[in-house]
Structure 1
Amino acid sequence: MPRPTPAGLYTSGLLLLTAATGAIDAVSYLALDGVFTGNMTGNVLFLAFALVGVSGIPLLNNAFALGGFALGSMLGGRLVRRGHPVGLPVRSGWVLGVGAALIFTLVGAWAALGDLGPAWQITLTAVLAALMGAQVAAVKPVGNTDITTVVVTNTLANVTRESRLGGGRQTALQWRHRFLAVVSMGAGAALGAAVLRVGDGPGALAASGVVFAAGVATLLVARRAQHHAERADAPAGALAVDQLATR
């Protein structure tokens, strides 16, 4: 059985993070305050509805979700920085690892608090949205534009518009990545909703955290595999210089 390639591992990690986004959005929408933490398109629409007086839409919650996502994305961009070669930078690994730990911290806090009041709901929503924003910035250097991990509207448009029926010529790899991204988001949302039906919010968020952590672990394995592959392909002289430089 062939060993997974770094590219394949990166794809698997991104798909797991996409599924985690769907699961976390299910938790935030169904168990918190009817707000998305990863899908900002929905929040922009909800915010607009609320601003013109549509009842039953939490204006403040949507605003905090949008603000949290934007803040997380900015902080993630600052921490990860730009100009990296294609792959997962060390800083991205740290951002994602802290994000996974934060999810389980929130699970513990939610379980300890029990039923959350409006202020706690807004706080939890904002923190989860910030985590989603930071995650996007962290995986950007991987360079797979077909799997964005947080939104699949454009992905669905591409997989259909660039299909043969749409007159396009997408490659088999592009089709597979785009199709699996849409499926992963839906599967994650179904997981979150299913756990909520038989359990509670903290349990569903914990399940989401497990998927998120699996995605982070897979990306770290991909980074290690890429590093080993690059060293194996490097000339002996370059390896010697590299070894001297790291002493």
Structure 2
Amino acid sequence: MSKATTPAVAVVLSFAAGATDAFAFLQLGGIFTANMTGNLILVGLYQRPNYLTTLIGASVAVVAFALVTYLGFRVRNARVLLVVATVVQALVLAGYAVADRPLGRLWLCVFIALSAVAMACQTVIGRTIEARSGVTTTFVTGTLTSLMQSLANGRTEFRTVRILSILALVAGALVGALAITGDPLLGAALPLVPSVVALALLPGVSVPSA
């Protein structure tokens, strides 16, 4: 895989994660499907309105994400994982387009699980192809920490991809929120765009184990 290609893929996947989390949080009961740290915090917020729905949704997301992440690191084929993520995002879009709204708890869980599967696949890809830079495409705490550590140590390598990944995540969330304001279906469709772009950028090769 070209060293010039992997940072671009990581940035595109960061945008996808921001857009996906915007859709999930705003349309799937306030649950994250890319940021599992957020879901673990939500599990503890028992005073939140509709806590049972939050507890179930957050638990579904964490379990689906963890299981598929484990399987993804065993597969280690970036293109296969990205195809799976893209297909699953398409299923979310198709299902959301035909489902009655507001969504019932069962449909919420189905869409949360599917979205978490897509984000798990993208996480494995991003974590592995950018292992040296410390870029994590579905959450930015690790990326931000790596950036600040390198700056504190006077090192500049990987600075660009780290900064762009953080900005792309925010941009994805912003564009996703704007799309949902226009039409919630657009919010479901948006994550497909960066997934397809990443497929075009990603060579059909296996990712080496970390």
TM-score, structure 2 as length reference:
0.88
Matched letter for residue 190 of structure 2? A
The residue that corresponds to 2:125 in the other structure is 138
In the alignment, does 2:9 pair up with 1:21? no
In the alignment, does 2:198 pair up with 1:198? no
Q: 1:92 aligns with which of 78, 83, 96?
A: 78
**Higher mean displacement: 33-42 or 139-148:** 139-148
2: CA distance between counterparts of 1:175 and 1:132?
Answer: 24
2: CA distance between counterparts of 1:21 and 1:127?
Answer: 14
Tell me the percent identity.
26
**Do 1:92 and 1:139's aligned partners in 2 also have CA atoms closer than 8 Å?**
no
Counterparts of 1:115-130 in structure 2, within 5 Å, are 115=101, 116-130=103-117
Q: 2:100 aligns with which of 105, 114, 125?
A: 114
Shift of 1:158: 2.6
2: CA distance between counterparts of 1:132 and 1:103?
Answer: 9
The residue that corresponds to 1:241 in the other structure is none
The residue that corresponds to 1:150 in the other structure is 138
Counterparts of 1:1-247 in structure 2, within 5 Å, are 6-50=2-46, 54-56=47-49, 57=51, 58-80=54-76, 91-115=77-101, 116-144=103-131, 145-163=133-151, 167-171=152-156, 173-200=157-184, 202-220=185-203
Equivalent pairs counted in the alignment come to: 201
- Please report the RMSD computed on the Cα atoms of aligned residues, expressed in angstroms: 2.0
List runs of 5+ in structure 2 lacking aligned partners: 206-210
**Do 1:20 and 1:211's aligned partners in 2 also have CA atoms closer than 8 Å?**
yes
The residue that corresponds to 1:229 in the other structure is none
Question: Greater Rg, structure 1 or structure 2?
Answer: 1
Shift of 1:94: 1.2
List runs of 5+ in structure 1 lacking aligned partners: 81-90, 224-247
Shift of 1:219: 1.6
**Do 2:17 and 2:34's aligned partners in 1 also have CA atoms closer than 8 Å?**
yes
Shift of 1:38: 0.5
CA displacement 1:177-211 (0-9 Å, x = unmatched): 211111011011111101001111x3212111111
2:3 is paired with a residue of what secondary structure? helix
1: CA distance between counterparts of 2:3 and 2:125?
Answer: 17
2: CA distance between counterparts of 1:217 and 1:146?
Answer: 23
**Do 1:97 and 1:216's aligned partners in 2 also have CA atoms closer than 8 Å?**
yes
TM-score, structure 1 as length reference:
0.75
